[in-house]
Copies of this chain bind each other. A is one copy, B any other.
């Protein structure tokens, strides 16, 4: 990255060596972080073109329109890139049940790390 790229208005997302960029997803209704997903160039292109969040599933190795099966679609309200253009921040209106997590929860971040006499544990909140 050359000096000044942080002030550039050129759209130039940077993908990792697997062709992916992480996308932080927030609920537009309250700003809370609901999930982290990954996009390839096609997923980002479709997200911008359709206004519906698309991701790349690393486990299934396929392009994925969020909610295509579950109905829990995500309409893009705002899409940003960070200073290095290697992370996406998506603000979405959550349709369907209003859940982002495959466990049926609103957010994937439902476990807090706690210290315990035996080391660290997770607390479901």
A interface list, Cβ under 8 A from B: 6-11, 22, 24, 26, 30-33, 35-36, 48, 78-84, 87, 89, 101-103, 105, 108-113, 115, 119-124
Contact pick for A123, options B9, B24, B123, CB 8 Å: B9
Query: A110, B83: Cβ atoms under 8 Å?
Result: yes
Contact pick for A8, options B84, B108, B122, CB 8 Å: B122
Query: A121, B81: Cβ atoms under 8 Å?
Result: no
Query: B11, A80: Cβ atoms under 8 Å?
Result: no
Q: Which residue of B lies closest to A91 (CB)?
A: B33
Query: A80, B111: Cβ atoms under 8 Å?
Result: yes
How far is A113 from B12 in the complex, measured between Cα atoms in Å?
A: 10
